[in-house]
Chains A and B, each alone.
Chain A
């Protein structure tokens, strides 16, 4: 795959040959852990012209989640939006603006009623009737309700859309909430993170686009494949934690050695995400802990933007227990050879004693008793 440069010829959307195209689909499938057959299914679907429609809403957000999507390479964003899905409404990327854009949105909703993917980026303000975020006079609240209500799948990308994120940080002046709270009753796939890891989004979107299904979700609507474990449980620095090697100050010897950041306030033990294994920007260790900054729990409501950056957290699940010594170790038995030897000696002593007893009992001719002279 050649990335375009300034000297490259202009992009030809039809110019992707089949081989590259299959490669894109394979990589996309691999990136999200779907089996190889999924790649074939992607290819088939898309060639049959069945690209799912995506309506992407922006609310109180920084657009960071979109930006992070721009940094993928398998597939790249252009491959995604041109070949794999039909991104029909995206305020940052679309060419249309103003009333024209809103008109597009409405017609797409009509055409694909019940089938399109609604992606929500950003928190929704509820205070004062939601006036703090409006597009064309409509509040985000109403927009989200309307679009999500008629969608085939709803994905809340980023912490802001998942539970409120930064806008909801105390004192939460706008009454910002996340999409699942607003859309009670609907199944909303939450992909918290700040930003959300783009591959988690790609995985969900492509799975829905290909199979029409959503991945397994936990109680908060987060896909288990990405949010099933605490960072602490699959952190590359876990060995340092287990051996008690902690960074005490930024820049100290431990920090240079890459030791555990727990004592610097790392929220890994209470934060579920897969940053530790997926990383960002497709560069190894390009994630907070990897570059020596303690995790601040951006995915978790009540942790990110709530707890102090350097506040240490409790560890509620001590896993895995195998690395701690038990209270009592098991017991070993005695060496059989030594037992035999000692047994032999004791037996010999008893035997010898019996023989000796017999011997001393025999009188000698010299012996005379007391009283006899």
Chain B
């Protein structure tokens, strides 16, 4: 099998492409903006208020961003829990996306915090932990999981460094640490499966503390389950999107058949989500909210649609053929969007502090910083896949510019 797909190799080629330059420019501007933000405080640059203390940065950068980075988790589940080794070619880019996504999520948190200088106290002062706080577990898990992800990436870096005779120090480092790492890898992989299970579901539990301020359609003890299942769905979706896209761009083997093989897993996840979601609404007597024609019912049905339609498409036989691979792509896009919408709704749209509070909409600054963080992630991703062995498949004849 390895021979068909090829071992992972760096894409190579020019780093400073126009796209890269654009991304770096956005990142640079964002860095300057962030200096300003820390000098003047959050009120001057964001639209967050006491009525809406969490805005775009939490809803997207942190909550959605980490869910988009669940590809590594979702694939690891298949490979290691369900013992489906054939998905191996996908794992490296998935873990890379996860590592970058969680790092950017962590940076997003730091940007949003009012007093980030005490953040180090959280893992250190364990005797002060408030065990009632859901956020405690989320924060600790994310900290640990981000570290785990980068350690899981280490073999990739070290594989490259081992070959680089021109950098003997790195070579030595890699040769020394690779076997140790390999021994520890199963424990790390297991950690990399348990930790996201914990914190992605807890991200759902976390917003339940908004209590009466959360719309009843999202105020449900099932929310952690919905967050967990949808993050798996988003993980698969992102893997499909990112795999198909990066391999197209860099003319690598598309791995379409492996991606198509993901379809049943995706269908199960999607239908379980939709089924339990509807069951919960009916069982808790909240059907009255479904047909109000207010924005909450629309959001609810949008979520359902964004998860059901891809499930239907994926179940159709033609989707599994090469001719209709765009359906796979579009379905993945819908799943990701559906998961994003679910999180945005729980953390923003369905959060109502009271009728008289000003509505929240992100400021230009907040939007720009979010775009800048995404640009940073894209830039890092492009650099790493070009210099390190991430993508499998033989390179095509024509290299990208």
Contacts and interface: CB of A to CB of B under 8 A. Distances in A.
Interface string B349-392: 00000111111111110010001000000000000000000000
Interface string A314-345: 00000000000000111111110111011001
B36 interface: no
Given A342-B367, A367-B256, A356 B358 contact: no
Given A367-B254, A367-B256, A338 B367 contact: yes
16 contacts: A328-B354, A331-B357, A345-B371, A356-B329, A357-B329, A359-B245, A360-B244, A360-B245, A360-B325, A364-B251, A366-B251, A366-B396, A367-B253, A368-B4, A369-B256, A370-B258
A263 B117 CA distance: 47
B111 interface: no
Contacts of A368: 4, 253
Contacts of B47: 334-335, 338
A316 B203 CA distance: 52
A14 interface: no
A328 B355 contact: yes
A99 interface: no
Interface string A69-102: 0000000000000000000000000000000000
Contacts of A334: 47, 359-361
A365 B396 contact: yes
Nearest to B247: A360
A128 to B, nearest CB: 66
B256 to A, nearest CB: 7
A64 B322 CA distance: 111
A342 B396 CA distance: 37
A373 interface: yes
B37 interface: no
Nearest to A354: B330
A361 interface: yes
Contacts of A365: 396-397
A364 B251 CA distance: 8
B347 to A, nearest CB: 16
Interface in B248-263: 248, 251, 253-254, 256-258
B242 to A, nearest CB: 11
A360 to B, nearest CB: 4
B325 A361 contact: yes
Interface in B220-250: 241, 244-245, 248
B253 to A, nearest CB: 6
Given A370-B257, A373-B4, A360 B359 contact: no
Contacts of A342: 361-362, 367
B104 to A, nearest CB: 17
A363 interface: yes
A308 interface: no
A357 B361 contact: no
Given A328-B356, A331-B356, A363-B322, A339 B329 contact: no
A368 B322 CA distance: 10
Contacts of A33: none
A256 interface: no
Nearest to B325: A361
A334 B354 CA distance: 16
Nearest to A329: B356
A345 B56 CA distance: 14
B363 A345 contact: no
Contacts of A364: 248, 251, 254, 396
Given A330-B356, A366-B396, A339 B361 contact: yes
A180 to B, nearest CB: 51
Contacts of A339: 361
Nearest to A336: B361
Given A366-B253, A373-B4, A333 B359 contact: yes
A358 to B, nearest CB: 7
A357 B244 CA distance: 9
A353 interface: yes
B215 interface: no
Contacts of B355: 328, 331
A330 B354 CA distance: 12
A328 B353 CA distance: 12
A10 B171 CA distance: 123
Interface string A248-284: 0000000000000000000000000000000000000
Interface in B89-115: none
